[in-house]
Chains A and B, each alone.
Chain A
Amino acid sequence: MEQTDIVCPFCGCLCDDLEASVEDGHITGLKNACAVSRSKFLNHGKHRVESAFIDNEPVSIEDSVQAAIDILSHAKRPLIYGLSSTECGAISKAIEIAEVTGGIVDNTASVCHGPTILALQQVGESKASLGDIMNRADLVVFWGANPTAAHLRHITRYSVMPKGMYVEGRKGRKVIAVDVRKTGTARFADKFVQVEPNSDYELLQTLRAIVRGEELEATEVAGIKMEDIKALAAEMAKAKYGVVFFGLGLTQSEGRHMNIDAAVGLVAELNRKTKFVLTPMRGHYNVAGANTVATWQTGYPYAIDFSKGYPRYNPGEFTAVDLMASGEVDAAIIIGSDPGATFPADAAKHLTKIPVITLEQKITPTTMLSKIVIPVATAGVETEGTAYRMDGIALRLSKIVDPPEGVYSDEHILDMILRGLKEAAQ
């Protein structure tokens, strides 16, 4: 059987043109997918969590859910974390669990584009859909972003190669890469601007001043000669429609949200002369959905504390790395994420000191450190759901094959836990 128009649940591109061949309940072929997507679809059955576990002993799903309810209902400050690699229905239930337990809910945005959100809340954003960019952009800037390693079809499907309504594909677009190293994207670009590490803020503010028409005394900024910065500013200003796609090169280096603040300032300045937009290169396929669902349910996108009975938002205080490093939380439930493999070691260590419940498809460092592991189905392969693309467009994920027998979706397990918590509270 052939299935078409499948949305890929790997990265924030959510490519929606995949085609799969399915025989006897197995995916036997895949078209239009990138190498990572192929790995996800064709290996979804490998290295699975093969049962529910409590203290490494196999148990039934029901027993593992009951043990999770016991831990969460007795915790004083539970953390609900992850949510970027699952679908929106599960995210919604997880946020409700935080509310019922008086806990904290955070998603992986806090360690990827959290600083972007912080900046955009302060200074706003000039944004567009990837479709609009494909149809109109004649200047594409990748700043601290390397789609040739992290968003493998971004260049070919959305931003550079496709023929747009008003642009002639690759020939009609100039591509500039700004990075600290010569990435695959930098090698592909028409122009590579090499910025010194931790100096993006200075370069962005210098460009902003030049676009505004300020005269500067410096002869070199961020390791780049002033005449080259002026040439870059002129190139940006003369575009008919420019876009800055920015990545973790800006959010994970010194300056963090202030780098994004400066990027927004530059784009705002360019909009006095031409049309310019900026778009964060969101990593996990539904991290944008985690922010969206959290915002419509609580008013805030991440780092949300319910200990007072109502939602409070404070990145730096209610964000997972800070809570782990300070040892503040006394239990955690992890969904659609692997903090054991993604947090700095001295924050990840706290996972070994508290009871951790993890919903996972595969064996991960976090499942290895968890008291309770509950196997779940892979959203977008074994269950349906909704996810948000990096530009905020919602797309429907498909179910292509059945999950392993007796394995439920994240949403189903979270609903079981939520019902148990509500009963325990009565």
Chain B
Amino acid sequence: MTKIEVILISGRTAKQGIGLEEGKSSDSYFDSVNHIMLSPDDVETLGIKEKDRVRVTTATGKVTVNWVTDKNLDPGLVFFPYGPWANQVYGSGTGSTGMPVMKGIAAIVEKGKGKVLTLEEVVNTLREDA
């Protein structure tokens, strides 16, 4: 299966802001943060279709999410809105600054198997017995 090496950038989107202010248990928040944005070229390389999921893997974690195309992205650059799904692939090392790196992270993206976890499920992965 095709895998691509990418640089992951996280950040805010207006939809995420609108969703979180409605409430993080709302569908609007869920839909705003459970996906990555890919360049059209990367979508073609991965050979993914509308209903497919993608798996994002970094040195510190992996997560299965939805995807959308962002024609303004260059190939090899992937945007992941801030949120509990993106947090699955960040490390907590801060280099003694207090700040984990959330932008410019090396990652692998491939067509994913399985479903996108619900908010409750993704929160439950944090529990000790998960």
Residues of A in contact with B (beta carbons under 8 Å apart): 10-11, 35-36, 39-40, 43, 46-48, 106, 110-111, 114-115, 118, 146, 148-150, 152, 180-183, 186-187, 194, 197-198, 248-249, 251-254, 256-257, 283, 302-303, 315-317, 319-322, 324-325, 338, 340-349, 351-353, 362-365, 368-369
Contact = CB atoms under 8 A, between A and B. Distances in A.
Contacts of A316: 94-98
Main SS class of interface, B: loop
A47 B91 contact: no
Interface residues of B, number: 51
Contacts of A257: 97
B2 interface: no
B108 interface: no
Given A36-B17, A316-B98, A364 B103 contact: no
Interface string B42-66: 0000000000000000001100000
B97 A115 contact: yes
Contacts of A341: 24, 83-84, 87
B27 to A, nearest CB: 11
Given A181-B74, A345-B61, A340 B17 contact: no
B94 A321 contact: yes
30 contacts: A10-B21, A36-B21, A39-B17, A39-B21, A39-B22, A40-B21, A46-B22, A111-B99, A114-B97, A150-B11, A180-B9, A180-B104, A253-B103, A253-B104, A254-B104, A315-B96, A315-B98, A322-B96, A322-B98, A325-B93, A341-B87, A342-B82, A342-B87, A343-B100, A345-B61, A346-B91, A347-B92, A348-B126, A349-B128, A368-B120
A149 B79 CA distance: 13
Name the 5 nearest CB pairs between A and B, nearest first.
Answer: A47-B23, A319-B98, A316-B96, A325-B92, A36-B17
Q: Which of B17, B22, B92, B98 has the most CB of A within 10 A?
A: B98
B100 A149 contact: no
Contacts of A346: 60-61, 91-92
Given A181-B9, A181-B74, A322 B94 contact: yes
A348 B100 CA distance: 12
B67 interface: no
Interface string B103-130: 1100000000000000110110111100
B50 to A, nearest CB: 23
B123 A369 contact: yes
A277 B17 CA distance: 28
B12 interface: yes
A365 B23 contact: no
A173 to B, nearest CB: 23
Contacts of A150: 11-12, 14, 17
Given A10-B17, A39-B22, A182-B73, 18 more contacts: A43-B22, A43-B23, A46-B23, A47-B23, A180-B77, A182-B72, A183-B72, A248-B103, A252-B100, A252-B102, A315-B97, A344-B90, A346-B61, A362-B24, A365-B84, A368-B120, A368-B123, A369-B126
Contacts of A283: 12
A110 B98 contact: yes
A254 B101 contact: yes
A235 B24 CA distance: 43
Nearest to A364: B24
A233 to B, nearest CB: 24
B126 A340 contact: yes
Contacts of B26: 46-47
B69 interface: no
Contacts of B22: 39, 43, 46-47
Contact of A249 (B17, B93, B103): B103
A321 B24 contact: no
